A and B are shown apart, each in its own frame.
Chain A
Amino acid sequence: MTNASVHGLLPQRGERVLVAMSGGVDSSVAAAVLVEAGCDVVGVTMKLHEDGKDIPDRPCCSLDSTSDARRVCDKLGIPHYVTNLVDRFGHDVLDDFVQEYARGRTPIPCVRCNTFTKFRDLLHKADDIDAPWLATGHYARMGTLPDGGNTRVMLRGLDPAKDQSYFLWGIERSVLSRLVLPVGDQTKAETREIARRFGLRTAEKPESQDICFVPDGNHVRVLEEHLGADAPALSVGPLRLVSGEVIGEHQGFARYTIGQRKGLPGGFAEPMFVVEIVASERAVVIGPREALLGRGLEARELNWLVEPPVLGAQVKVQVRNRASAVAATIVRMSGNAIELALDEPVHAISPGQSLVIYDGDIVLGGGVIERGMRTAPSRRLPILAA
């Protein structure tokens, strides 16, 4: 395991930092501690949805949240701006979210929002206002490798209950040298305590859990809006057993996620789960817990936050937020695709979710899961060009 020292480089007094402010307690505290450290802090809230679609009582992205961010900045004596990223977010995040579900996959829009919206588009805003640094309220840490070259790396948040590094694997590697994550070495309780010390109105604000553009957690409504209620993904299809036997029908495969148990017919000897979604046949395949186990996986859209490891490297991987990391071996890498053999079987490897690769606490990189494999793939030589 590689050791990295946490917080190698930090913004100096007087340096400008753009803080992405959602109006929540984490980003409020991120701004507060940077102000206290003497940085020239500018708060920016991203507007990601159209006005009419703003949902007033949601914890993030709404008018109320923007107002909270503005009020916090006022309290801290720093400027606050709103940047309109509606079009870009719609293109990079929302459209992809809808298309992934239409393909029978389970996307994580927050990953793409981090990759394309926060740490690319918003970083351009930082350039525009001469801010060398971009800070957010994510629970992850920045550190430096002991390689003498001050190589910046990202580490898991110190509080395992809050660690958000799973959502950050996709950002461009060069961004690391400009990133500041002030709350990543705190627990949520400590963050709230700091917010109280600064007298910030967001100190007791409830946690945001859902996806910001999915009201009440009902993603189907968003899909209906974009795909139409009669889209294949939302229409009747066969419910099958792993054996291929059709045992009934479902009301649209986009309503299901691998590993889901809720909403499936009963009457089986053991609990049944969704184990596969076959979009081309509109089929939802169910099976017992055993059928959910995967011993290998393929991921695409591979992105490295460090020098890429070599074929055969032993790493730790995580295939879901909050799942524990398991040991794995890289058995194939080509272009932006990777294949790994897992040392122990993992439940519910879902296409569309993220594969995140770690070395201890260090985030090495990640990708989007293409498929899980029931049996572990063996190490193969890279295909040589003919």
Chain B
Amino acid sequence: MTQFVYLDHAATTPVRDEVMAAMAPYFGARFGNPSSMHRWGREARVALDEARERLAACLGAQADEVCFTSGGTEGDNFAILGVFRTLRAQGRDAAITTPIEHKAVLAAVHQVAHEGGEERLVRVTRDGLVDRVHFADLLDERVAVASVMWVNNEVGVVQDVPALAAQAKAAGAVFHTDAVQAFGKLSINAKQTPFDLLTISGHKIGAPKGIGALFIRRDTPLEPMFHGGSQNRGRRPGTENVAFAVGLATAAELLLAEHEAEHARLSTMRSVLEQGLRDRIPDVIIHGDGAPRAPHITNVSIPGTSSESMLMALDLRGIACSAGSACQSGSVSASHVLNAMGVAPDIANAALRLSLGCLSTDADMQRTLDVLTALAEKARVGKAASAACAFESIEF
């Protein structure tokens, strides 16, 4: 029987049982609309307000600073375009970001340019860290918003957000960070770090897909994306998804409670995996390993292999991971992140992102090591003797 190994937690995670249980009443008996004045409405409203408070507490924020969204993409768009559209009238019409952001941020900043503003990309080092000197150069009086992701979703590199946020604020810009991969992996506290806006997403942390939140520091200039009722203080109208908001708050609390133990557990497993790969495949490249990294992501290239073929072969052996950014058709194209880090195209085309999480076990690491090693060997032998077609299948 195939041993299934899920190493794609950075893509999504299963909804936790505790989260399911917490959400269940709001699909059934407590189905009310939080804006209604009757008992059903009140019940829902209380649950929603409580969820907002609980999530705020997890972020070191005030309840009114938490705006529920549909997820990471909405949060990123709201933050960047919302600030730009408000401040452009005051002559601040530029947006800064990094070339290694998630597409949600890159596309939102691109939209800024499309709407007549200016798009500025700050350079990153070979390890994927923002070039602070260049960042300072770009931060002039025209900048409305600077957006730098806290943990990169492809390589796991951690940016120095406290310093970058302070730098941006000192230049009069609003600072946003996409913390979708950071939330639950690093400690995030709005009281200690001067970010103005911070995006999180539910489905990366055991809550459902379709819920997220944007932290909006008080007095941050932010035009809403949608127009409608007064929900979320008018910043994000539309009947709130009470059940999912409760789910997100529950997942966030669990995450915080388990943070230290889980951090240690994932770090250890990742070390085993990376050390094992280095031992067995000496020329393996681990991207961003010269920089601080979150504990759950490793991005490796085995020279002479191709991501696409490896992903297929791994999946056929029950191992799930990913590479680059998946396009809508489901095919793989080279990673813009690795490209921005100056990784050579043939190495970037061999990249595999393995991301650990709640489902990961020590046995998973061993199995992955064995399979990866065998596949790498086969692919590279095959390449060396390119003419011959050998079909000896590898059994495990």
Interface residues of A (CB under 8 A from B): 16, 42, 44-45, 47, 51, 54, 63, 66, 70, 79, 81-84, 125, 127-130, 132
- The reply to whether A63 and B332 contact each other, CB–CB distance below 8 Å, is no
Instruction: Please pick, from B316, B331, B389, B394, the residue contacting A84 in the complex, using a CB distance under 8 A.
Output: B331
Q: Is B393 an interface residue (CB 8 A)?
A: yes
Residue of A nearest to B393 (CB): A130
Q: Which of B312, B327, B328, B333 has the most CB of A within 10 A?
A: B312
- The reply to whether B309 and A128 contact each other, CB–CB distance below 8 Å, is yes
How far apart are the CA atoms of A66 and B327 in the complex, in Å? 12
How far apart are the CA atoms of A127 and B328 in the complex, in Å? 25
B300-330: CB near A (< 8 Å → 1, else 0) gives 0000001011011101100000000001111
Q: A127-B389, A130-B393 are in contact. Are A51 and B309 (CB under 8 A)?
A: no
Residue of B nearest to A131 (CB): B391
- The reply to whether A47 and B329 contact each other, CB–CB distance below 8 Å, is yes
- The reply to whether A66 and B309 contact each other, CB–CB distance below 8 Å, is no
Taking the closest CB of chain B, its distance from the CB of A5, in whole angstroms, is 25
How far apart are the CA atoms of A63 and B326 in the complex, in Å? 13
Instruction: Please pick, from B308, B328, B332, the residue contacting A51 in the complex, using a CB distance under 8 A.
Output: B328
How far apart are the CA atoms of A84 and B306 in the complex, in Å? 11
Interface residues of B (CB under 8 A from A): 306, 308-309, 311-313, 315-316, 327-333, 379, 382, 389, 391, 393-394
Q: Cβ of B312: which chain A residues have Cβ within 8 Å of it?
A: 42, 44, 81, 83, 125, 128-129
How far apart are the CA atoms of A54 and B308 in the complex, in Å? 21
Residue of B nearest to A81 (CB): B312
- The reply to whether A84 and B332 contact each other, CB–CB distance below 8 Å, is yes
- The reply to whether A66 and B313 contact each other, CB–CB distance below 8 Å, is no
- The reply to whether A51 and B327 contact each other, CB–CB distance below 8 Å, is yes
How far apart are the CA atoms of A132 and B393 in the complex, in Å? 10
Q: A66-B330, A129-B313 are in contact. Are A83 and B308 (CB under 8 A)?
A: yes
Q: Cβ of A129: which chain B residues have Cβ within 8 Å of it?
A: 309, 312-313, 316
How far apart are the CA atoms of A82 and B333 in the complex, in Å? 11
The 9 closest A-B pairs by CB, nearest first: A128-B309, A82-B331, A84-B331, A47-B331, A82-B330, A130-B393, A132-B391, A66-B329, A81-B312
Q: A79-B315, A79-B316, A81-B312 are in contact. Are A128 and B329 (CB under 8 A)?
A: no
How far apart are the CA atoms of A44 and B311 in the complex, in Å? 13
- What are 14 pairs between A and B in contact, CB < 8 Å? A42-B316, A44-B312, A45-B329, A51-B327, A66-B329, A79-B316, A81-B330, A82-B329, A82-B331, A83-B331, A125-B309, A128-B312, A129-B309, A130-B313
How far apart are the CA atoms of A127 and B385 in the complex, in Å? 13
How far apart are the CA atoms of A84 and B308 in the complex, in Å? 8
Interface SS, A side? mixed
Q: Cβ of A128: which chain B residues have Cβ within 8 Å of it?
A: 306, 309, 312-313, 379, 382
Residue of B nearest to A42 (CB): B316
Q: Cβ of A79: which chain B residues have Cβ within 8 Å of it?
A: 315-316
Q: Cβ of B329: which chain A residues have Cβ within 8 Å of it?
A: 45, 47, 51, 54, 63, 66, 82
Taking the closest CB of chain A, its distance from the CB of B213, in whole angstroms, is 30
Taking the closest CB of chain B, its distance from the CB of A371, in whole angstroms, is 35
Q: Cβ of B316: which chain A residues have Cβ within 8 Å of it?
A: 42, 79, 129
Q: Cβ of A42: which chain B residues have Cβ within 8 Å of it?
A: 312, 316
Taking the closest CB of chain A, its distance from the CB of B287, in whole angstroms, is 20
Residue of A nearest to B310 (CB): A128
How far apart are the CA atoms of A128 and B313 in the complex, in Å? 7
How far apart are the CA atoms of A130 and B396 in the complex, in Å? 14
Residue of B nearest to A47 (CB): B331
Q: Cβ of B311: which chain A residues have Cβ within 8 Å of it?
A: 81
How far apart are the CA atoms of A128 and B379 in the complex, in Å? 7
Residue of A nearest to B382 (CB): A127
Q: Cβ of A66: which chain B residues have Cβ within 8 Å of it?
A: 329-330
Q: Cβ of A83: which chain B residues have Cβ within 8 Å of it?
A: 308, 312, 331
Residue of B nearest to A85 (CB): B331
Q: Cβ of B327: which chain A residues have Cβ within 8 Å of it?
A: 47, 51
Q: Cβ of A63: which chain B residues have Cβ within 8 Å of it?
A: 328-329
Residue of B nearest to A80 (CB): B330
How far apart are the CA atoms of A129 and B329 in the complex, in Å? 20
How far apart are the CA atoms of A45 and B331 in the complex, in Å? 9
Taking the closest CB of chain A, its distance from the CB of B9, in whole angstroms, is 21
How far apart are the CA atoms of A123 and B73 in the complex, in Å? 38
How far apart are the CA atoms of A128 and B386 in the complex, in Å? 12
How far apart are the CA atoms of A51 and B333 in the complex, in Å? 11
Q: Cβ of A125: which chain B residues have Cβ within 8 Å of it?
A: 308-309, 312
Q: Cβ of A130: which chain B residues have Cβ within 8 Å of it?
A: 313, 391, 393-394
Taking the closest CB of chain A, its distance from the CB of B283, in whole angstroms, is 20
How far apart are the CA atoms of A177 and B315 in the complex, in Å? 27
How far apart are the CA atoms of A79 and B330 in the complex, in Å? 13
How far apart are the CA atoms of A129 and B311 in the complex, in Å? 10
How far apart are the CA atoms of A380 and B49 in the complex, in Å? 93
Q: Cβ of A44: which chain B residues have Cβ within 8 Å of it?
A: 312
Q: Cβ of B331: which chain A residues have Cβ within 8 Å of it?
A: 47, 82-84
Residue of A nearest to B306 (CB): A128
Q: Cβ of B328: which chain A residues have Cβ within 8 Å of it?
A: 51, 63
Q: Cβ of B379: which chain A residues have Cβ within 8 Å of it?
A: 128
Q: Cβ of B330: which chain A residues have Cβ within 8 Å of it?
A: 66, 70, 81-82
Q: Cβ of A51: which chain B residues have Cβ within 8 Å of it?
A: 327-329
How far apart are the CA atoms of A93 and B312 in the complex, in Å? 25
Taking the closest CB of chain B, its distance from the CB of A269, in whole angstroms, is 55
Taking the closest CB of chain A, its distance from the CB of B345, in whole angstroms, is 11
* Known A44-B312, A66-B330; 19 more pairs at CB < 8 Å: A42-B312, A42-B316, A47-B331, A51-B328, A66-B329, A70-B330, A79-B315, A81-B311, A83-B312, A83-B331, A84-B333, A125-B309, A125-B312, A127-B382, A127-B389, A129-B312, A129-B316, A130-B391, A130-B394
